[in-house]
Structure 1
């Protein structure tokens, strides 16, 4: 009886939506208009009806990842349909404390959470990232720029903002597979230290340092940012795609640590995803819960104003802020396309469920950036010298010279 009621609810929802998709029930029955269907939702059992009867983007993503249903069609069409079906364009961001506490980010938990996402398989990430394996927003100086060129442009964009100079001491917090770390050493002549909690990343970067003849100039450490020694100090620091793992409760302490690591006059660039709405701590429609359970356990988003406030509260002076939101949407669509092109290899390396997780989370994130649900901010800040301005040029022309 319940199944019949849920089928009726699904039928009413599909017909009322007027959207070009069909739902294929486990018994072969079709619900919807098959003539112009851009997307087919295939349900494998009666239990799958619940996700379609009263859908949210999070519940649909869960059902897809768990194999309760298949989403067949172009992934852009799938996301657009899901948005309209769930009225997600009107979604309310998650607000309030929602239980975010400092104990969510102990060293042990953070290490486990990082390894859950990043220690999947170096070969898997190599299938769809650029040759440098840069797993963060690229910088497209022209719309038709290749992903490889746009990622190199991003690395240069960061190095220029930091005004890197030969023989400076440079720290990369959350160095990933070493793209920025190696680029800064080879192109700008810095002495570089990168830290990561990922075993796979540490192994890859260690191999790259030796292969490129950078031993003695570049070092990678398996280390929590809270444990980086403060003796000596660094001229420049970058944190790219890492502070989303810090946690709202630890944000102030994060910037205090960075301040302590910087030499007087030094600069730091913090590059990361933020909410589009002040006071929000994530996306609604079940998206944040899905991300927490399947993608980035322990990840938390804050607004750009929170970043500026925490940095300033630590004693750093904020010098420059740039929102690269449209660049990240474009970056993610490149990654999704490449992942789908290597779907069989990806499934072989990490299995069907993880393939579905990465496909739906990256496509969903691309859609979210395209529609302004999230933003990507680069915030540049500096440490004063005897109360005077950090060592930063009077004008920003040098950042864009030659572009």
Structure 2
């Protein structure tokens, strides 16, 4: 009886909204518009009805990842129909709550969370990232730019914003697979140090340093940002795609540490995903909870205004800020397409469930950036010299040379 009530509820929801969607039940029964279906949802068991009867984006993603339902169709159509089915565009952002405490970001917890996400398989990431394995928003100077070219343009964009010069000491916080670290050393002549909490990334970058003959000029450390020891030693610092792991409660600690590491007159570029909502603890419609449980444990999004406030409170002066939101949507769609093209290899490397996690997470993130639910801000800030301004040109012309 309960199952039939849920079936009727799903039928009313799907057919009442007149969506180009078919829901196929475990017994072969079909609900929805079979004549014009762009997406087919296959429910594996009666328990799967709950996710469809009162759906949220997060609940549907969980059911997909757990294998309770299958999603057939173009991934863009799947996300668009999921948005309409769940009315996700009108879901309130998750409120900032007491759950975001300092204890969610102890050194041991952060290391465990980072390793959960990044130590999946270097070969897996190599399937769909660009040749440099840059796992952050690219910079598309034109819409038809390839992913590899756009990632190189992003690396140059960061290096130029930081006005890197030969011989300067450069720190890359959360260096990933070394794309920026190696680019800055080879193209701009800096003495570079990268830090990461990922064992896989540390091993990969160490191998790249040796293979490229950069020993003595480039160093990679398996280290928490809070433990970098060289006070006042760095001319320039970049943090790219790491900020999302810091947590609201640790913003002061994070920027205080950066301030202490910079030389007087030094510059820092913070590149990170932010919430589009000013007062938010994350995305609504169950999305944040899904990401926390399956993708980025301990991750948290804050608004760009909180980034500026926290940096300023630590004594850093904001010099430039840029929102790259459209660029991240395009980047993610590239990643999703490349992952789907090599789906069989991905499944062999990491298994069906993790493949589903990355596919739905990256596609959902692309959709969120395209629709303004999230933003990506590059904030450039500097450390003044005895009350004067940081060492920075008067105009932005040099960035676009």
Q: TM-score range by the shorter chain?
A: over 0.9
Matches within 5 A, 1:179-198: 179-198=179-198
Question: What is the distance in 2 between the residues matched to 1:236 and 1:179?
Answer: 16
SS at match of 1:167: coil
TM-score by length of 1: 0.99
* 1:281, distance to aligned residue in structure 2 (A): 1.5
SS at match of 2:392: coil
Question: What is the distance in 2 between the residues matched to 1:238 and 1:87?
Answer: 38
Alignment partner, residue 262 of structure 2: 262
Residue deviations 1:320-374, cap 9 Å, x none? Answer: 0000000000000000000000000000000000000000000000000000000
SS at match of 1:166: coil
5+ residue gaps, structure 1, are none
- Contact in 1 for aligned 2:93/2:284 (Cα 8 Å): yes
* 1:29, distance to aligned residue in structure 2 (A): 0.5
Query: Is residue 360 from structure 1 mapped to residue 377 from structure 2 by the alignment?
Result: no
Alignment partner, residue 166 of structure 1: 166
Matches within 5 A, 1:7-86: 7-86=7-86
Matches within 5 A, 1:3-402: 3-401=3-401
Question: What is the distance in 2 between the residues matched to 1:374 and 1:91?
Answer: 14
SS at match of 1:11: helix
* 1:96, distance to aligned residue in structure 2 (A): 2.7
Question: What is the distance in 1 between the residues matched to 2:254 and 2:217?
Answer: 26
* 1:116, distance to aligned residue in structure 2 (A): 0.1
SS at match of 2:238: strand
How many residues align? The count is 401
Question: What is the distance in 1 between the residues matched to 2:323 and 2:128?
Answer: 25
Residue deviations 1:106-152, cap 9 Å, x none? Answer: 00000000000000000000000000000000000000000000000
Question: What is the distance in 1 between the residues matched to 2:346 and 2:230?
Answer: 41
SS at match of 1:264: strand
Residue deviations 1:182-234, cap 9 Å, x none? Answer: 00000000000000000000000000000000000000000000000033510
SS at match of 1:249: helix
* 1:87, distance to aligned residue in structure 2 (A): 0.3
SS at match of 1:282: coil
Q: Which runs of 4+ in 1 moved over 2 A?
A: none
* 1:98, distance to aligned residue in structure 2 (A): 4.1
* 1:94, distance to aligned residue in structure 2 (A): 1.0
* 1:253, distance to aligned residue in structure 2 (A): 1.0
Question: What is the distance in 2 between the residues matched to 1:299 and 1:90?
Answer: 23
Residue deviations 1:217-271, cap 9 Å, x none? Answer: 0000000000000335100000000010000000011000000000000000000
Moved more, 96-105 or 188-197: 96-105
Question: What is the distance in 2 between the residues matched to 1:66 and 1:83?
Answer: 20
* 1:278, distance to aligned residue in structure 2 (A): 0.5
SS at match of 1:156: helix
TM-score by length of 2: 0.99
- Contact in 1 for aligned 2:332/2:362 (Cα 8 Å): yes
SS at match of 2:387: coil
5+ residue gaps, structure 2, are none
SS at match of 1:187: helix
Question: What is the distance in 2 between the residues matched to 1:17 and 1:231?
Answer: 60
SS at match of 2:216: coil
